[in-house]
Chain A
């Protein structure tokens, strides 16, 4: 008779304990993120029109994707979204970096703290409210945009009533809302630069440009990459501001891709096609993210 192995006292820690700790997070991700995505994937392979529910929802293979890829409006709105991104992003990066550098200057402690807090206000404003504010700001008769350009002798101008004006207006509102975000990210990057390195560099050179390029820039790049990824995804699904401000008009001047998808999904109720469009956007977002990481992201050494 061999002796029984010594019984381990129950410590409450078993083979699966780590799994239990991870479970809530994984579960939440499954419920919130993965399940809807899979559902959209299945929907995108079906004829899924809610106003024709009596016809059922049969599988139709890749027909929805085919339809989306050969739909000129899809490409037009996607192109317009790219143009929008290229208009707002440089402005937000430029202004954001400028603000961050100003706030990084030593001195004026209380005012700086106040400025930093007030930067959060545009970020905390609901998109739909930003759109409604935009409608007032760019009103032809009493909007402050016309009041402002009037100071420089420029005649009043009907922003939302013509294509170029409306596009400019949604760009301006986006820059207003998102520049603070860029500024805060850059500011956190700047504050990561070790003080002694920065001081040593200041002794070496008087040139702020050289300081920025050689010392501060490496610390800014990770934040910059994250910013690009977040903003790209964000612009691709930008909806509320545009919808409340111009509803995609006049004509199709401000119809970004997400406004178009909403139209297909919730006006025509063709959820199959809308899901296919949304999944294509997801693919675009992922590709863009890989590209950004490849070209901009550098580990700090």
Chain B
């Protein structure tokens, strides 16, 4: 009897202690104390040459000074990042942190290359009491960091598609506000803004073959029209009336775009906009610093930023971004140090300096700050865009890279007029279903999650 009594009373005491501690703990986090056992640990991570990474690099010395943990970053072009990481994880390489694009999360998680957050967040000694996962935009945490209901990564470099427009050009054409719908953009705004003789065009859509074609161009026009890539049973939905309407809309809009957008990447589209050749573009929020910098942009006060226009199915802007996750190949000590770094880089405490250094934080609280709101035009439209969206804007399952290649090829053939919209949709459909068949989605071997 006595042992049982003792256990029960201990459990009650423990529960009471648990209830009592949180307020006391929430006081703040002594990151130096938490990191003390990991002093001198070296972390390896891949970064991109984009504003969000330059911002964290600027703040990095402070972290290293406080914790004694050294972060070695290698800057790699986006197109090679997945290749590098996959090879590194397969050969049990030196990466201690995975940089996860939202479309890689399924692949990385299913291969067991990244560690679920719950495995580390249970350890109070290395977990920030203010971790507050609920403080991230739910859409971002869900789309960038989670797979199959488990959270792996914390949103770090966050993007939403935005409509960048040239206020002066719109004003000259008689418009005092940006288009609210795609229909308006195509039928009211673009015809008036396009003057081919002056090499001036209403709109440009970056459509270079590759992820730019599949994500920025193809998907962007599919969703707002009510279309989608896959139906509920993971068969192609591109033949549906709504999907066809979206793709046909893109085709019709091309007469207001500069010739050759099929070979344009982000750089070309942003540059044409910054040089006053194009009145409107839909681009990632991350390019805000490029179009505001007088060194790279002629826009000055003419720059306007709005949420992407709405379509028949509402406003479903492009969604993209990266999370940071602990790599499971790293030794335990390194994993713990990596977890401390990831929490720091995505924390609420650092959100403001991060935004001021050019990054885009995934924390909600920082955007309520009046100083941030007034200084950055992109904040309001971006926060509006993140209220609602589809996490599977691009399916995040492991088959996406193969599917993306197919969409990239036939999507650009469609734009070139080598195939009609209907033929192109059919070609993509057959090839995509063959890929998904091989993955085992049609014989019940694999759960249908995207």
CB distance from A241 to the nearest CB of B (A): 15
Q: Is the CB of A263 within 8 A of B405?
A: yes
Q: Is the CB of A251 within 8 A of B409?
A: yes
Q: Is the CB of B416 within 8 A of A267?
A: no
Do A54 and B112 contact each other (CB < 8 Å), given the known contacts A250-B412, A251-B209, A251-B409? Answer: yes
* Distance, CA A209 to CA B409, complexed state (A): 48
* Distance, CA A140 to CA B405, complexed state (A): 26
What is the total of A-B residue contacts with beta carbons within 8 Å? 75
CB distance from B241 to the nearest CB of A (A): 26
Q: Is the CB of B87 within 8 A of A161?
A: no
The digit string for B29-51, where 1 denotes a CB below 8 A from any CB of A, is: 00000000000000000000000
* Distance, CA A292 to CA B412, complexed state (A): 38
Stretch at the interface among B7-15, B154-162, B255-263, B310-318: B255-263
CB distance from B407 to the nearest CB of A (A): 12
Q: Is the CB of B263 within 8 A of A250?
A: yes
B208 interface residue, CB < 8 Å from A? yes
With a cutoff of 8 Å between Cβ atoms, the chain A residues found around residue B208 in the complex are 247, 249
With a cutoff of 8 Å between Cβ atoms, the chain A residues found around residue B413 in the complex are 251-252
* Distance, CA A263 to CA B82, complexed state (A): 13
Q: Is the CB of B263 within 8 A of A53?
A: no
What would 20 more interface pairs be, CB under 8 Å, given A249-B412, A250-B416?
A50-B86, A50-B87, A50-B90, A51-B86, A51-B107, A51-B111, A54-B110, A140-B260, A160-B263, A161-B263, A162-B416, A166-B263, A246-B263, A249-B208, A249-B209, A250-B209, A251-B409, A252-B409, A252-B413, A267-B83
* Distance, CA A268 to CA B83, complexed state (A): 10
Q: For the complex, would chain B's binding face be called helix, strand, loop or mixed by DSSP majority? A: helix
Partner of B111, one of A54, A141, A248, A255: A54
In the complex, the 6 A-B pairs of residues with the closest C-beta atoms, listed nearest first: A161-B260, A249-B209, A158-B260, A251-B413, A250-B262, A160-B263
B153 interface residue, CB < 8 Å from A? no
A266 interface residue, CB < 8 Å from B? yes
CB distance from B409 to the nearest CB of A (A): 6
Find the A residue at minimum CB distance from B212: A247
Q: Is the CB of B409 within 8 A of A140?
A: no
The digit string for A49-62, where 1 denotes a CB below 8 A from any CB of B, is: 01111100000000
B398 interface residue, CB < 8 Å from A? yes
For A54, A246, A248, which residue has the most chain B Cβ atoms within 10 angstroms?
A248
* Distance, CA A52 to CA B261, complexed state (A): 35
Q: Is the CB of A268 within 8 A of B401?
A: yes
Interface residues of B, Cβ cutoff 8 Å to A = 83, 86-87, 90, 107, 110-112, 199, 208-210, 213, 259-263, 398, 401-402, 404-405, 408-409, 412-413, 415-416, 418
Partner of B262, one of A51, A54, A248, A249: A249
Interface residues of A in 136-166 (CB under 8 A from B): 140-141, 158, 160-163, 166
* Distance, CA A220 to CA B401, complexed state (A): 49
* Distance, CA A252 to CA B418, complexed state (A): 10
The digit string for A263-278, where 1 denotes a CB below 8 A from any CB of B, is: 1001111000000000
Find the A residue at minimum CB distance from B402: A268
Q: Is the CB of B405 within 8 A of A267?
A: yes
Do A266 and B412 contact each other (CB < 8 Å), given the known contacts A53-B111, A161-B259, A249-B263? Answer: no
CB distance from A203 to the nearest CB of B (A): 57
Interface residues of A in 151-200 (CB under 8 A from B): 158, 160-163, 166
With a cutoff of 8 Å between Cβ atoms, the chain A residues found around residue B402 in the complex are 267-268
Interface residues of A in 26-54 (CB under 8 A from B): 50-54
Partner of B259, one of A51, A53, A140: A140
* Distance, CA A50 to CA B404, complexed state (A): 18
For A54, A160, A246, which residue has the most chain B Cβ atoms within 10 angstroms?
A160
